[in-house]
Chains A and B, each alone.
Chain A
Amino acid sequence: MQSNEYIQFFDGGIEPKLENLGGKGASLVTMTSAGMPVPPGFVVTTAQFDAFMEEAGITRHIHQLLADLDPEDMGQVDKVSAAIREDICSRAVPQALRELTVGAYEALMSRFDAPVPVAVRSSATAEDLPDASFAGQQDTYLWLDGVKAVTEHIRQCWASLFTSRAIIYRLKNNIPNEGLSMAVVVQKMVNARVSGVAITMDPTNGDRSKITIDSSYGVGEMVVSGQVTPDNIMLDKVTLTVISEHLGDKHAELVPVAGIRGLVEREVDAERRGRRSLTDAELTAVAQMAKRAEKHYKCPQDIEWALDTDLPDGENLLLLQSRPETVHSSKPSVPSSAATGGYFSGLSPAPAGPAPGSPTTAAGPAPSSASGFSLGSITAALLKPSF
């Protein structure tokens, strides 16, 4: 199924526009086309919301209800909010639009051997809602099976434009209700076989020529929250050579279980614990994806990733999140002792040169008075035009 005005697949090749897809939806499409594959899915665009509202003919009525509200009157706000949301959820979606959504859902399911659970989440355009985290928490519906559950929750996301909190926020910030719209993301639930995080630097010293990967079995929550000791691998960012690796204990994993709409924790057997959770090829793929994320966002990234059981090899690595690495990014990108650059430093039994970490500069000739000898002056000489 192709993307169109009302449905846009993440990998549909249409340029993402914030006003059509909302912030979350646009970002998912952008990441997919930049080689950072997110779990596959599609966006129900704002155009579909607009068409639905148009067909329902309730926009004017809603505006009237909201017009005279006092943001301090919580009881009244709650009452109006409930009425509007009830109204939206009870209206039928026009047949043509409904068919598009059902078709998109079926096209998504056809990518897997058997139907897989999806998440449905709202994707607001810009300032309509207080903040992404608040909205996201409210309007993310996980582990949904079947088209009926999906379409139902799409309408619930639409309705979330009119939660009490959203209404009050707009009132207090003088954001008009005219032109309000909402996109909705339908996305495969990650069925993680292996997952973890990757940082595009060495977090111990800020060295940006490294990629550090933590990896463990199952869904990444246990890695992120520190409940398991993951495998820890450091690679060179340029050549992707493994610099060091430490096998973690990885004693437990969180895995989705069919029927319970959620995750269960189970023990990892000794054989799987004893080996690295990523193959060489998977490791390289994770590192390359982290590199792409850094390149795309133009600063060191801290990503969450997963290998999805339901997807074929080569397409199963998914990017779940990418955010700027904040601990070191504000610091110099190079360990501070580097400026001396002396190849003899550390070779003599008791180097008298600058201690590692002490601030030094490379502008002038290196100190030559002590045994902490450096070639800095030689190199400095080479910067002269005569060479």
Chain B
Amino acid sequence: MSLKSFPKPSELTVPAGAEGWEKIYPYYLVFQDKLKEQEDAKFWFCDSQHWPTVFKPFETIGGEFAVKCLGQYNARHLMIPNANGIEFRIHLGYLYMSPIPVPEDQIAARVPLFEQRVGHYFQNWEQLLKQWHVKVKGTIEEMETISFPKLPDVVPMEDILSGKGKDGSEKLLESYDRLIQLAYQNWQYHFEFLNLGYIAYLDFFNFCKQVFPNIPDQSIATMVQGVDMELFRPDDELKQLAKLAVELGLQAHFGNTDDVDATLAAIAAAPGGDRWAAQYENAKDPWFNFTVGNGFYGHDKYWNEHQEIPLGYIADYIRRVDDGQEIMRPIEALIIERDRIIEEYRDLLEGEHQTLFDAKRGLAATAYPYVENHNFYIEHWTMGVFWRKIRELGRMMQAEGFWTEPDDLLYLGRNEVRDALFDLVTGWGVGAKPIGPDYWPEEIERRRGIVDALKTARPAPALNTPPEIITEPFTRMLWGITTEQVQQWLGAGEAVEGGGLRGMAASPGVVEGLARVVTDADQLSEVQQGEILVATVTAPSWGPIFGKIKATVTDIGGMMSHAAIVCREYGLPAVTGTGSASTTIKTGQRLRVDGTKGTVQILDEEPELQVAGPGAHSHSHV
């Protein structure tokens, strides 16, 4: 086993212009001088799967809430016998994680607690999950009621008459606090079932690995994965709308979908357009609460606020339907193939083993779909509403002179925003100018410079010395951090024949084609029919381009990453977790992607031809 190490945090170069970056984040999120020895002794891997780009200070909220809440379910709710949560730090703008094991001598004592708690959930799954939907939707509904109006010049007369005795600023502060609390609440709910979904999956996974040593991970995933998932629903809605548009002969009105109002108005005025418009409105709520990002960044665009995005996709689907292409996923064929796989493995077992197989697979198939479906409710819907409200607050504060652009709010930490609000209400209350307008614009510019400088460097895949064997189940499964992967990052892995990249064999099949490197959702419109998508990481709302591409290669992600799930769904080869595909591969290079072996070969160094250009893509916005 190689004894190579990743760099220590202190050994990484601070990009020029990013000096003092530590101070733009809360003290508890950065490595501490006083804890250097302890922190350097731990292995930290970078979660660039969820946080591929540098955090602006406000955006740490997603990382903090998500990873904290993941941990609480391991460590405090479910009492996972051998795994506590995951410690996390931000270093040079990126998030690094270190799983916390349970001391050997405490594992046994947690077992009965674990069995009791997990048993309760698994035995009452449907009822508890139904309740979960009510809770989560309740949170979102309450979030929707929050608003951040400008404070009035005078307290309204009716408040005088009613003897209210408050100036309304308390409402502003409460609204902000409540918004943060509601986000926190749904992030707690997010993990109420997620860890259970993984537990059921891993239980079946490990059983399969025992009865069928070396069974491909893909086979196991296929046996429990839902075929028709809520995660695909927004994309399916667009496809249905495209088919209806073709059926009603509305194609001509999709010529310039960038002009949303004109497009919708023309459709509404056309014969049959009212029927289409009704279906469109129906689809919007809730399925357009869908982001082109992953819900963790303030700059993520959501379909309902940028309807040119879904309209562009519909226009693209319409063209494909008119070209005689089948745009719907081959659901029936996928179900038949999944059932064949289940049946064939099952038939290899006898007696008790077959009974166990059925029970464990049944449990995993019940619990696992949550792992895929929750994403819509939290990352897309909840966070969509959250960021919309934050933007509203940003605009209000901008109008009060605190900063120059609405999104400048993101350069403040969430507790600094609370301070700025109190600054605002104090100035307003006493009839003076708040301090913020003289303090924040300059500070925001300074921080913007730091964030931009941090963005010039990619994160290290990991920090410090890795353990000899990586066993922590969630780490392996969610992030694809396996012993082999770590060795690969360290350059000690098995070389790929003919040079190339190795990653996880996430969806089977072999294809050759031209690479299209996408590092930002805004580049998605450049993707051409038949190309191979190469990305840092993919997001669920990229769904519509999966019908166009031949294969996917990502830097980050395991068997259960989004790219892996969607590619299996679309029957496309995928290699995930290569570490460096998006930086190694150039757009236009010819690739051979082997999703069965998990390898990517660059067949020619020079890009074959110019693949971008005017008119080359079907819609200009994503």
Q: Write the B510-524 contact mask toward A (1 if CB under 8 angstroms, else 0).
A: 100000000000000
Q: Is residue A3 within 8 Å, beta carbon to beta carbon, of the partner chain?
A: no
Q: What is the 8 Å Cβ interface bit string for chain B, positions 345-356, against chain A (1 contact, 0 not)?
A: 100111011011
Q: Which A-chain residue is minimally distant from B125 (CB atoms)?
A: A387
Contacts of B104 in A (CB 8 A): 348-350, 371
- Evaluate whether A236 and B203 lie within 8 angstroms (CB atoms) in the complex, with A371-B107, A387-B123 already known: no
Contact A343 B348 (CB under 8 A): no
B207 CB within 8 Å of chain A: yes
Measured between beta carbons, the chain B residues less than 8 angstroms from A341 are 203, 206-207, 210, 356, 360
* B205 lies within 8 A of chain A by Cβ: yes
Closest 3 CB pairs of A and B: A343-B206, A209-B212, A338-B210
A338 touches B207 (CB 8 A): yes
Q: Does B419 contact A (CB under 8 A)?
A: no
The minimal Cβ–Cβ distance linking A61 to chain B, given in whole angstroms, is: 57
For the complex with contacts A241-B596, A368-B112, 14 further pairs of A-B residues with Cβ separation under 8 Å are A209-B212, A209-B215, A209-B348, A236-B219, A241-B216, A243-B214, A335-B213, A338-B207, A338-B211, A343-B202, A377-B119, A378-B203, A381-B123, A382-B359
- Set of chain B residues within 8 Å of A346, measured between Cβ atoms: 471
Whether A379 lies near B212 (C-beta < 8 A) is no
**Chain A, residue nearest B349 (CB):** A334
Cα A334 to Cα B347 with chains together (Å): 12
Complex formed: what's the CA distance from A165 to B481 in Å? 69
Q: A342-B206, A382-B122 in contact; A238/B219 too (CB < 8 A)?
A: yes
- Bound form: Cα–Cα A380–B359 in Å: 8
Within 8 A of B (CB), among A118-164: none
Q: A202-B213, A241-B596 are in contact. Are A382 and B123 (CB under 8 A)?
A: yes
Instruction: Let me know if B352 and A339 touch, CB within 8 A.
Output: yes
- Least CB distance from B216 to A in Å reads 5
* A238 and B341 form a contact (CB under 8 A): yes
Shortest C-beta distance, B470 to chain A (Å), equals: 10
- Name the CB-closest residue of A to B105: A371
Which residues of B are found within 8 Å of A361, using beta-carbon distances? 352
24 contacts between A and B (CB under 8 A): A202-B213, A209-B345, A236-B214, A239-B216, A242-B597, A338-B211, A339-B353, A341-B206, A341-B210, A341-B356, A343-B202, A344-B473, A368-B111, A368-B115, A371-B81, A371-B108, A373-B111, A375-B203, A377-B119, A379-B363, A381-B119, A381-B123, A382-B362, A383-B359
B86 to chain A, nearest CB (A): 16
In the complex, what's the smallest C-beta–C-beta distance from A338 to chain B, in angstroms? 4
Residues of chain B within 8 A (CB-CB) of A378 are 115, 118-119, 122, 203, 363
What is the 8 Å Cβ interface bit string for chain A, positions 334-368, against chain B (1 contact, 0 not)? 11011111111111111000000000011101001
- Measured CB to CB, the closest approach of chain A to B471, in angstroms, equals 5
Q: A208-B348, A236-B219, A338-B211 in contact; A343/B341 too (CB < 8 A)?
A: no
Beta-carbon nearest neighbor of A371 in chain B: B107
Q: In the complex, what residues of A have CB within 8 A of residue B350's CB? A: 332-334
A347–B472 alpha-carbon span in the complex (Å):
7
Contact residues in B for A337 (Cβ distance below 8 Å): 210
A275 to B108, CA, bound (A): 51
In the complex, are the beta carbons of A377 and B115 less than 8 A apart? Answer: yes
- Describe B's contact surface by its main secondary structure: helix
CA distance A380 to B341 in the complex (A): 24
Complex interface bits, B384-422 against A, C-beta within 8 A gives 1, otherwise 0: 000000000000000000000000000000000000000
Residues from chain B with a CB closer than 8 A to the CB of A345 are 206
Q: Which of A234, A239, A368 has a CB less than 8 Å from the CB of B508?
A: A239
Alpha-carbon distance A368/B79, docked complex (angstroms): 14
Instruction: State the CA gap A242–B219 with chains docked (Å).
Output: 12
A residues lining the B interface (CB < 8 Å):
202, 205, 207-210, 234, 236-239, 241-244, 280, 332-335, 337-350, 361-363, 365, 368-371, 373, 375, 377-383, 386-387
Chain A contacts for B108, CB-based, 8 A = 368-371, 373
Least CB separation from A291: chain B residue: B344
B-to-A contact residues, CB < 8 Å? 81-82, 104, 107-108, 111-112, 115, 118-119, 122-123, 199, 202-203, 205-207, 210-216, 218-219, 340-341, 344-345, 348-350, 352-353, 355-356, 359-360, 362-363, 471-473, 505, 508, 510, 596-597
Q: How far is the CA of A266 from the CA of B360 in the complex (A)?
A: 54
Are B596 and A379 closer than 8 Å at their CB atoms? no
Q: How far is the CB of A204 from chain B (nearest CB, A)?
A: 9
Q: Which residue of A lies closest to B337 (CB)?
A: A239
**Which chain B positions have C-beta within 8 A of A208?**
348
Closest to B207 in A: A341
> Would A241 and B218 be within 8 Å (CB), given that A373-B82, A375-B203, A382-B122 are in contact?
yes
Give bound CA distance, A49 to B617, whole Å: 74
CB-CB < 8 A to A209: which residues of B?
211-212, 215, 345, 348
Residues in B neighbouring A237, C-beta threshold 8 A = 344, 348
Complex contacts, B219 vs chain A, CB 8 Å: 236, 238-239, 241
Q: With a CB–CB cut-off of 8 A, which chain A residues contact B471? A: 346-347
Q: Chain A residues near B206 (CB, 8 Å)?
A: 341-343, 345
A234 CA / B214 CA spacing, docked (Å) = 10
Residue numbers in A under 8 Å from B81 (CB-CB): 344, 371, 373
Q: Within the assembled complex, what's the spacing in Å between the Cα atoms of A238 and B338?
A: 11
The closest CB in chain A to the CB of B596 belongs to: A241
Residue of A nearest to B210 (CB): A338
Measured in the bound complex, the distance between the Cα atoms of B9 and A330 in whole Å is 57
Give the residue name and chain of the B residue nearest to A241 (CB): B216
CA distance A199 to B484 in the complex (A): 29
Indicate if the CB atoms of B203 and A343 lie closer than 8 Å: yes
Output the least CB separation between B129 and chain A (Å): 14
Give the residue among A365, A379, A381 with the most B Cβ atoms within 10 A. A379
Q: Which residues of B contact A241 (CB under 8 A)?
A: 216, 218-219, 505, 508, 596
Provide the bound-state CA to CA distance between A383 and B362, in Å.
10
User: Chain B contacts of A380 at CB under 8 A?
Assistant: 359
